[in-house]
Amino acid sequence: MFIQTESTPNPATLKFLPGQSVLEIGTADFPTADTAQTSPLATRLFAVDGVTGVFFGTDFVTVTKADAVEWDHVKPALLGAIMEHYQSGESVMAEDHKATSGHADHTGEDGEIVGQIKELLDSRVRPAVAQDGGDITFHGFDRGVVYLHMQGACAGCPSSTLTLKMGIENLLRHYIPEVTEVRPVA
C-alpha–C-alpha distance, residues 170 and 124, integer Å: 12
The C-alpha R_g of the chain, in whole angstroms, comes to: 17
Per DSSP, helices labelled H in 66-162 are 71-88, 111-120, 126-131, 160-162
Best CA proximity match to 45, nearest among 18, 12, 5, 77: 77
The tens digit of pLDDT for each residue in 28-44 reads: 999 999 999 999 999 99
C-alpha–C-alpha distance, residues 61 and 184, integer Å: 22
The angle at the Cα of 65, spanning 182 to 57, to the nearest 5 degrees, equals 60
The predicted model scores a pTM of 0.81
The angle at the Cα of 162, spanning 141 to 185, to the nearest 5 degrees, equals 35
Residue 146's DSSP bridge partners are 141, 182
Residue 145's DSSP bridge partners are 142, 181
Phi-psi region of 6 (alpha: psi -120 to 50; beta: other; left: phi over 0): beta
What's the chain's average pLDDT?
89
Q: By mean pLDDT, which of 10-19, 41-50, 91-100 is the weakest?
A: 91-100
The tens digit of pLDDT for each residue in 67-76 reads: 999 999 999 9
